[in-house]
Amino acid sequence: MKSVMFHRLAIADAYDAHMRHYDAEHYDRIKDQFIEEMAELTTALLHERRGRRDRIDGELYQVLLCAEFLMRARGNRPEFIEGGVVQEARDLMAKIRAGVVDGKGRDARG
Protein backbone atom coordinates (compact mmCIF):
# COMPACT_ATOMS: atom_id res chain seq x y z
CA MET A 1 0.00 0.00 0.00
CA LYS A 2 2.84 2.39 0.78
CA SER A 3 4.18 2.23 -2.79
CA VAL A 4 0.68 2.97 -4.18
CA MET A 5 0.40 5.99 -1.91
CA PHE A 6 3.84 7.21 -2.99
CA HIS A 7 2.89 6.64 -6.63
CA ARG A 8 -0.28 8.74 -6.24
CA LEU A 9 1.58 11.52 -4.40
CA ALA A 10 4.37 11.62 -6.97
CA ILE A 11 1.91 11.88 -9.86
CA ALA A 12 -0.13 14.54 -8.05
CA ASP A 13 3.01 16.60 -7.38
CA ALA A 14 4.19 16.28 -10.98
CA TYR A 15 0.75 17.21 -12.28
CA ASP A 16 0.56 20.29 -10.03
CA ALA A 17 4.03 21.40 -11.12
CA HIS A 18 3.07 20.92 -14.79
CA MET A 19 -0.12 22.93 -14.29
CA ARG A 20 1.73 25.80 -12.58
CA HIS A 21 4.51 25.87 -15.17
CA TYR A 22 2.32 25.81 -18.29
CA ASP A 23 -0.65 27.70 -16.77
CA ALA A 24 -3.23 28.44 -19.53
CA GLU A 25 -1.43 26.17 -22.00
CA HIS A 26 -1.46 23.26 -19.54
CA TYR A 27 -4.16 21.14 -21.26
CA ASP A 28 -2.90 21.72 -24.81
CA ARG A 29 0.66 20.96 -23.70
CA ILE A 30 -0.46 17.65 -22.18
CA LYS A 31 -2.19 16.68 -25.42
CA ASP A 32 0.91 17.57 -27.44
CA GLN A 33 3.19 15.64 -25.05
CA PHE A 34 0.85 12.64 -25.13
CA ILE A 35 0.90 12.50 -28.93
CA GLU A 36 4.69 12.87 -28.97
CA GLU A 37 5.21 10.16 -26.36
CA MET A 38 2.86 7.77 -28.18
CA ALA A 39 4.85 8.32 -31.37
CA GLU A 40 8.10 7.58 -29.53
CA LEU A 41 6.58 4.41 -28.05
CA THR A 42 5.40 3.34 -31.50
CA THR A 43 8.92 3.82 -32.85
CA ALA A 44 10.42 1.81 -29.98
CA LEU A 45 7.92 -1.02 -30.56
CA LEU A 46 8.66 -1.06 -34.28
CA HIS A 47 12.39 -1.23 -33.56
CA GLU A 48 11.80 -4.23 -31.31
CA ARG A 49 9.80 -5.99 -34.04
CA ARG A 50 12.83 -5.54 -36.30
CA GLY A 51 15.09 -7.15 -33.71
CA ARG A 52 16.55 -4.02 -32.19
CA ARG A 53 16.11 -3.39 -28.50
CA ASP A 54 14.92 0.05 -27.64
CA ARG A 55 13.61 1.99 -24.66
CA ILE A 56 10.13 0.47 -24.65
CA ASP A 57 9.71 0.58 -20.86
CA GLY A 58 10.80 4.20 -20.56
CA GLU A 59 8.56 5.28 -23.44
CA LEU A 60 5.64 3.31 -22.01
CA TYR A 61 6.06 4.98 -18.60
CA GLN A 62 6.01 8.40 -20.26
CA VAL A 63 2.85 7.53 -22.22
CA LEU A 64 1.17 6.30 -19.03
CA LEU A 65 2.13 9.47 -17.17
CA CYS A 66 0.79 11.66 -19.97
CA ALA A 67 -2.42 9.60 -20.03
CA GLU A 68 -2.82 10.15 -16.30
CA PHE A 69 -2.24 13.88 -16.73
CA LEU A 70 -4.74 14.03 -19.59
CA MET A 71 -7.39 12.24 -17.54
CA ARG A 72 -6.82 14.60 -14.62
CA ALA A 73 -6.95 17.65 -16.88
CA ARG A 74 -10.31 16.41 -18.16
CA GLY A 75 -11.62 16.49 -14.59
CA ASN A 76 -11.23 12.83 -13.62
CA ARG A 77 -10.07 12.13 -10.08
CA PRO A 78 -7.41 9.43 -9.52
CA GLU A 79 -9.83 6.94 -7.99
CA PHE A 80 -12.11 7.23 -11.01
CA ILE A 81 -9.19 6.81 -13.40
CA GLU A 82 -8.15 3.60 -11.66
CA GLY A 83 -11.76 2.40 -11.55
CA GLY A 84 -12.12 3.07 -15.27
CA VAL A 85 -8.96 1.11 -16.06
CA VAL A 86 -10.16 -1.81 -13.92
CA GLN A 87 -13.52 -1.81 -15.72
CA GLU A 88 -11.83 -1.74 -19.15
CA ALA A 89 -9.70 -4.73 -18.09
CA ARG A 90 -12.81 -6.62 -16.93
CA ASP A 91 -14.60 -5.84 -20.20
CA LEU A 92 -11.62 -7.03 -22.24
CA MET A 93 -11.34 -10.27 -20.24
CA ALA A 94 -15.06 -10.93 -20.74
CA LYS A 95 -14.75 -10.37 -24.50
CA ILE A 96 -11.74 -12.67 -24.75
CA ARG A 97 -13.48 -15.39 -22.73
CA ALA A 98 -16.57 -15.06 -24.93
CA GLY A 99 -14.41 -15.32 -28.06
CA VAL A 100 -15.43 -11.85 -29.20
CA VAL A 101 -11.83 -10.69 -29.70
CA ASP A 102 -8.70 -12.54 -30.77
CA GLY A 103 -6.36 -10.82 -28.32
CA LYS A 104 -5.60 -8.05 -30.80
CA GLY A 105 -8.90 -6.26 -30.39
CA ARG A 106 -10.49 -7.77 -33.49
CA ASP A 107 -13.68 -9.83 -33.68
CA ALA A 108 -12.61 -13.49 -33.58
CA ARG A 109 -15.86 -14.85 -34.98
CA GLY A 110 -15.08 -13.59 -38.46
For the chain, the structural domain boundaries read 2-76, 77-110
In sign, the C-alpha dihedral spanning 31, 54, 92, 105 is positive
pTM of the model: 0.76
Buried b (16+ CB within 10 A) or exposed e, 2-35: eeeeeeeeebeeebeebbeeeeeeeeebbeebbe
pLDDT in tens, the chain (110 residues): 466 666 778 888 999 999 999 999 999 999 999 999 999 999 999 998 888 877 899 999 999 999 999 999 999 888 888 888 899 999 988 988 888 876 565 655 55
pLDDT of residue 72: 92
